[in-house]
Amino acid sequence: MRQTPSQTVGPYFAYGLTPEQYLYDFKSLVGNRLVDPLAGPEAVLIYGRVFDGQGQPVSDALIELWDAANRRFGRFGTGTDPDCRFLFHTVKPGSVDGQAPHLSVIVFMRGQLIHSYTRLYFPEETDANAADPVLNAVPEHRRQTLIARRTPAGYEFDIYMQGERETVFFEI
Partner 1 sequence: MSQPTIPLFDREVQPPYLAPGYKSTVLRAPTQPLVVIPHSLSERTGPVFGAANVGPLDHDLTKNSMKNGEPLGERIVVHGRVLDETGRPVPHTLIEIWQANAAGRYVHKVDQHDAPLDPNFLGTGRVLTDAEGRYKFYTIKPGAYPWSNHYNAWRPNHIHFSLFGPNITTRLVTQMYFPGDPLLDHDPVFLSLPPKGRSLLICRFDMAVTEPHFALGYQFDFVLRGSGSTPFETV
Q: What is the DSSP letter of 140?
A: G
Distances (CA, A) of 97 to 94, 101, 102, 120: 10, 10, 11, 16
Of 77, 79, 80, 170, the closest CA to residue 120 belongs to 170
Q: CA–CA separation, 6 vs 157, rounded Å?
A: 26
Query: Least distance to partner 1 from the beta carbon of 30, Å?
Result: 7
User: How many residues lie near partner 1 (CB under 8 A)?
Assistant: 69
Of 11, 53, 1, the closest CA to residue 164 belongs to 53
- Which residues, 17 to 76, sit near partner 1 by CB under 8 A? 17, 19, 22, 24-27, 29-30, 52-54, 56, 58, 60, 64, 66, 68, 71, 73
For residue 120, which phi and psi values (nearest 5 degrees)?
-110, 120
Residue 84 within binding range of partner 1, rule CB under 8 A: no
Nearer to partner 1, 11 or 153 (CB): 11
Footprint of partner 1 (CB under 8 A):
1-17, 19, 22, 24-27, 29-30, 52-54, 56, 58, 60, 64, 66, 68, 71, 73, 79, 96-99, 102, 104, 106, 108-117, 119, 133-134, 137-138, 142, 161-162, 166-172
